[in-house]
Amino acid sequence: MTTAEDDALTTLPPYSDADLSDREAPAPAGPRLGVLGWLRWTWRQLTSMRTALILLFLLALASVPGSVLPQEGTDPAAVSQYYTAHPGLAPLLNDLSLFNVFSAPWFAATYLLLFASLAGCVLPRTVRLVGQARQLPPRAPRNLARLPFSASYVTQQQPEQAMAAASKLLSRRHYRLQTGDGWVSAEKGYLREVGNLIFHIALLALLFSVGIGGIWGYKANRLLIVGQGFANTPTDLDVFHPGRLVGPSDLQPFSINLQSFQAKYVTSGPQLDQPISYAAPLTYRTAPGAPLRHYTLQVNHPLVVDSVSVYLIGHGYAPEFKITDGTGHVQFDGPVPFIPVDQLSLTSEGVIKVPDAKPAQLGFAGIFLPTAVDVNGELQSAFPAALFPRVSLVSYAGNLGMDGPVAQSVYQLDTKGLHQLPVAPRPLAPGQSIKLPDGDGTLTFTGYTQWVSLAITYDPGQLPALISGILALLGLILSFLVRRRRVFVRVQPRADGGTAVVVGGLARSDAAGGFEAEFTDLAQQFLDLHDGTALPEAADPRPGGDDEAADVSSGDEFVPRKSAVTAQARAAGPDPASAGREESEA
Amino acid sequence: MPINTGLADTSNALLFSTVILYALAMLCYACDFAFAKERVVAEAPALVAVGAGGPPVQVPISVPADAASRATPSRWPTGVWLRAAFGLTCIGLFCHVLAILARGLAEHRVPWGNMYEFLAAITCMAVLVLVAASVKYRAYYMGLFVLVPVVFALGLDLTVIYTPAGSLVPALQSYWIAIHVTAMIIASGLFIFGAVVTTLYLVADRSQRRIAAGQPSWSAGIVDHLPKPAILDRLSYRSILFGFPVWTFGVMAGAIWADHAWGRYWGWDPKETWSFITWVVYAMFLHARATAGWRGRRAAWIHLIGFGCLMFNLIGVNLWITGLHSYAGMP
Ligand code: HEM
């Protein structure tokens, strides 16, 4: 390489886009950095970025089992099913946290490492950008024709005049300028890095926001039967997942009463059975003693009380029973929530336990059919609304096993200590009863009501997460829209009294192209401004025969060149915008 | 409001016509490939100026017909076959848009409530991107390669996946469906286009390297009709530049909607998980592009993996994995 070339290239190293990932301040890439220095510098770029790449890949990979295997967090029932289906494999998977992927230690390790790498990458870059923003663009290289884009022409204007006009045009276009003896150097597009940094920092902020939710937020579920109510206290909630620093007294003290529940379904056509709308009118108080308010809870329309949101996430039937035991005492009288086993027809299953019944404890396992129809001797539900409700029960007597050490699910009957009673299987209509044999008592299906399941969430990280997300998106768009580029102009008096003008330009991270068009346009403006005459191509001798013609840089695919200006595109050493490099490095 | 069955039938007929038109356009693009010789003859006048001063370009140049067959490259297609192909594509696209509009009007809602409608919409978006890229970047050579998968997908859509017009389940009744799903459709259309370009890039790149190494290349016949790999690479990158922010927005909008509907903005539901995976892989692609050693072929493979994730989310998750997203909506 000649000295002139070195000089031209000194401006380039900090201009390669790999430099963005440099964790250390960039080595002052002077002419005498040497091959080793270059190698080390390049290696550091590659490793840091490569680390990010590998970690991103691991994160993607680590998420896969979470979507393929059932997860405790989203579908615990499916996990138990998996245990039954694969008794050998399931404990093994459980040991690897594969039923809890997104809270698994190895998953956390992956994203924490990634975010550590992100912080380690972004913070120094921010510092560096602040430094760069205060610096002037570098001196113009001596031989502008060696830049990826250049144009040259002659003008009758004097060099100073031509310089002044060029500077004015560039600053009008919001370039930052440095001028010297016979040259102007201009730079623009710092916003690209600003956008990129905002994006990455916003990702960090997003992670923190999620963390805030996990520490100070909580999630809960409550099944609520029409006519009943509950208060937002840990004991009154069915499922309660508090954040790490949430105590029972931190819960907002509202209470809710369910007035009724209405569901509408498609009654004909191919979409028969499909729900059209759900509505759950309810009353609530923000605190004990506060005024009573009304709200109609619907899907997609949560109730927000005191920054806590209450959602309608499910519904079902609760058949009502009255059970009299062998001694003639009414031991049970009320609704029992049944769980839908088929979402379309709302065929539901449930159990009734009567531990106080005498002489023996009683248990019933039943199916509720909202619209019962007889299909070849088998009873099925034909429609989700309760048009022809029937309940079919199997009755048991004996020991319910409820005084064991482990609390029983109210939705399951442990039949170990029970024996089935010989009752003729007969679906009950509302009002009908079964008389249990041996004077064990009577059960009456008195009617039915409905229930809804509510999700209650409090997430103080939600707003920060939203803001981070919006910032990330804006930063991303900014970095994609702006391209950082430099333009240089050199003027030189000619023997014939005119002035020779050379315009050179280069863009960093111009992978999507487009700089060439901008440069051509700019060069054309210089030409017009200077009243110049384009030089014949021969007047700009290009050194070296090792040039690779960079057809990519020819830019906007097959745009005709403006005849007045010869924009030259060639691969110039470490120029990132050219494809020559890409090919030589592949 | 009841479904307007007349309009729904019109929509079906229009979509059927769309497939026919696209299939015809596809044939014309293929004929253009086979019979329009002039593009190979002219050695791209535009490119000569670019290499000015440098040595002659060594790699065999093949430029799309419009650039090569005229002194001043034109924005619009040239040659009988290409004109016919592009015209048919545009008429097909018009019918496609009308079909989607009619469906929406028939159902009194945004027509992307199930797999059938979603597929019709993303193919429409893919063709829209094709037409835009053809005009803006003179990428007429993409026609055949985009229309083949589109015709195939629409064929499946009208037969196997077809779902009659209907109303939405309560979970989908929200204005967020218009925001979230629309963004996902736009991004998917761009990603489909990008994946096709990337595949062509890999084919062209391989062919070029084999020829350079003196080895035979089965794809040389096709590659002769394509621009240089570097131009394909850039076009594919552009599709991600547009697609990635839209996808990011779509995922965010989905999170906000999930918060409205289910009470959490992110719950690792399979659909969410896979859109996250897709997002991460495309982010990897962008990082790979920024790293010199990973440009070109390796970045292209990451691009295709990202697209694989997108497709798995669209097809695999809907068919094999059940989640909260009632989107699957298969008959
Ligand atoms: C959570 C993990 C990360 C995600 C999701 C992510 C995502 C992205 C995306 C989407 C871009 C392209 C947008 C743009 O150019 O502004 C990008 C660019 C970039 N990222 Fe990351 N990133 C992550 C972590 C990192 C890490 C750890 C590093 C440091 C090694 C890093 C360094 C960079 C650099 C230098 C660019 C600029 C590339 C260019 O100018 O073309 N990122 N990142």
Alpha carbon separation from A419 to A186, A360, A394, B276 (Å, rounded): 91, 11, 11, 51
Out of A99-108, A242-251, B94-103, give the one with best mean pLDDT.
B94-103
Query: Cis omega (within 30 of 0) on the bond before A291?
Result: no
Asked if B286 has any chain A CB less than 8 Å from its own CB, the reply is: no
Distance of CA B292 to the CA centre of its chain: 27
Q: ipTM of this predicted complex?
A: 0.86
Closest C-alpha residue for ligand 1 atom 30: A49
And the tokens for A290? 């506060």
Burial category of B321 from C-beta neighbours within 10 Å (exposed 0-12, middle 13-18, buried 19 and up): buried
Neighbours of A190 (CB within 10 A): 14
Asked if B2 has any chain A CB less than 8 Å from its own CB, the reply is: no
Per the CB < 8 Å rule, is B241 touching A16?
no
pLDDT score of A557: 34
pLDDT, tens digit, 9 for 90 and up, residues A7-31 = 333 333 333 333 333 333 344 444 5
pLDDT, tens digit, 9 for 90 and up, residues A144-166 = 877 878 888 888 888 888 899 89
- Cα A556 from Cα B243, distance rounded (Å): 19
- Mean pLDDT is lowest, of A10-14, B25-29, B304-308, for A10-14
Average pLDDT, chain A: 80
Q: What is the mean pLDDT of residues B43-51?
A: 29
pLDDT, tens digit, 9 for 90 and up, residues A88-141 = 899 999 999 999 898 899 999 999 888 888 888 888 888 888 888 788 888 888
Residue A529 backbone class (left: φ over 0; alpha: ψ -120 to 50; beta: rest): alpha
Total count of residues recorded for chain B: 331
pLDDT, tens digit, 9 for 90 and up, residues B167-212 = 888 878 889 999 999 999 999 999 999 999 999 999 999 998 898 8
- Mean pLDDT is lowest, of A21-35, A421-435, A505-519, B156-170, for A21-35
Of A50, A2, A10, A55, residue with least CA distance to A30: A10
Residue A512's pLDDT band (cuts 50, 70, 90): low
Closest CA–CA distance from residue A148 to any residue of chain B (Å):
11
Query: Please, what is the Cα angle at B32 between B29 and B35, to 5 degrees?
Result: 150
pLDDT score of B261: 84
Tell me the three state secondary structure of residue A135. Answer: coil
The single-letter DSSP state of residue A220 is: E
A123 Cα–ligand 1 center, Å: 13
Contact A558, B41 (CB under 8 A): no
Contact B78, B141 (CB under 8 A): no
Burial category of A568 from C-beta neighbours within 10 Å (exposed 0-12, middle 13-18, buried 19 and up): buried
Percentage of chain A exceeding pLDDT 90: 39
Closest C-alpha residue for ligand 1 atom 42: A118
pLDDT score of A12: 31
Q: What is the mean pLDDT of residues A198-224?
A: 93
- Cα B91 from Cα B24, distance rounded (Å): 11
Residue A41's pLDDT band (cuts 50, 70, 90): low
Closest Cα in chain B to A576: B292
Q: Write out the DSSP string of A170-194.
A: HHHTT-EEEEETTEEEEEE-THHHH
Which is more confident, B240 or A564? B240
Neighbours of B71 (CB within 10 A): 8
Q: Quick check: B11 pLDDT over 90?
A: yes
Neighbours of B41 (CB within 10 A): 8
Tell me the three state secondary structure of residue A250. Answer: helix
- Mean pLDDT is lowest, of A75-84, A182-191, B301-310, for A75-84
Q: What is the mean pLDDT of residues A232-254?
A: 91
pLDDT score of B299: 92
- Cα B251 from Cα B259, distance rounded (Å): 12
Per the CB < 8 Å rule, is A18 touching B49?
no
Pocket test for ligand 1, best of A46, A200, A508 (most atoms within 8 A of CB): A200
- Cα B130 from Cα A257, distance rounded (Å): 56
Q: What is the mean pLDDT of residues A334-343?
A: 91
Locate the DSSP E strands across A248-371: 255-258, 262-265, 275-285, 293-297, 303-305, 308-325, 330-335, 339-340, 348-354, 361-369
A466 Cα–ligand 1 center, Å: 20
Total count of residues recorded for chain A: 586
3-state secondary structure A390-422: EEEEEEEEECCCCCCCCCCCCCCCCHHHEEECC
Alpha carbon separation from B88 to B15, B20, B21, B47 (Å, rounded): 14, 10, 6, 30
- Select the residue of B57, B170, B233 nearest A277 (Cβ to Cβ): B170
Closest CA–CA distance from residue B51 to any residue of chain A (Å):
5
Evaluated on CA atoms A570, A574, A575, A577, the torsion sign reads positive
